Amino acid sequence: MLTMHPGRVRMSVNSVGLDRLFLPGGDVWAWSRRVGRETLFESIAIAPSRTGHIKAMHGMTQTPVGRRNVRFTIHNDADYARFVVKGTTGPIRSTRPGGMLLVRPAPYSRFNRFVPLESVAGQSANNWLQRASDNVMLRHGI
């Protein structure tokens, strides 16, 4: 509400109403949820997939942060997702002295049967979660 008197202006803000925008059911909360779900679906679409396990393990959480902030988090609960996102450094060797690594056959590797190897090369990083987030934020002009 804006009240004007000669020489001064007084403004009242409904801070409780403003706070409600950021809580579940509020407009900012709903917008954040839409953008979060769009990011989730983009992440699933561009996730690397040999077996489909990484694609199936995506999830989203949304939480209020303080009075006027909302956070959504896209996560992947596959136990090896962090190695795909951050990559591995090679060569990777067995931890046992003189031990061999058993490499699984296709579709997990290029071999058609189990193969013992002394070491395997590392895997380059594939941060599909960051790429999905960047794509969605660009579309929204953020």
Question: pLDDT, tens digit, for every residue of 101-116?
Answer: 888 888 777 888 888 8
Q: State residue 14's pLDDT score.
A: 81
What's CA 128's distance to the chain center, in Å? 8
Average pLDDT over residues 18-35: 92
Both tokens assigned to 131? 């790429």
Largest CA distance in the chain: 90
Contact, 84 vs 47, CB < 8 A? no
Q: What are the strands, taking DSSP E only, across the chain?
A: 2-5, 8-11, 58-64, 70-76, 92-93, 101-103, 115-117, 119-120
**Average model confidence (pLDDT) across the chain:** 88
Q: State residue 41's pLDDT score.
A: 97
Q: Which amino acid is at 43?
A: S
- Model confidence at 87: pLDDT above 70: yes
- Model confidence at 6: pLDDT above 90: no
| Residue with the two structure tokens 């917008």 | 31
Q: What are the strands, taking DSSP E only, across 1-141?
A: 2-5, 8-11, 58-64, 70-76, 92-93, 101-103, 115-117, 119-120
- Spatial separation of the C-alpha atoms in residues 123 and 89, rounded to whole Å: 7
**Could you tell me the pLDDT band of residue 2, with boundaries at 50, 70 and 90?**
low
- Model confidence at 23: pLDDT above 60: yes
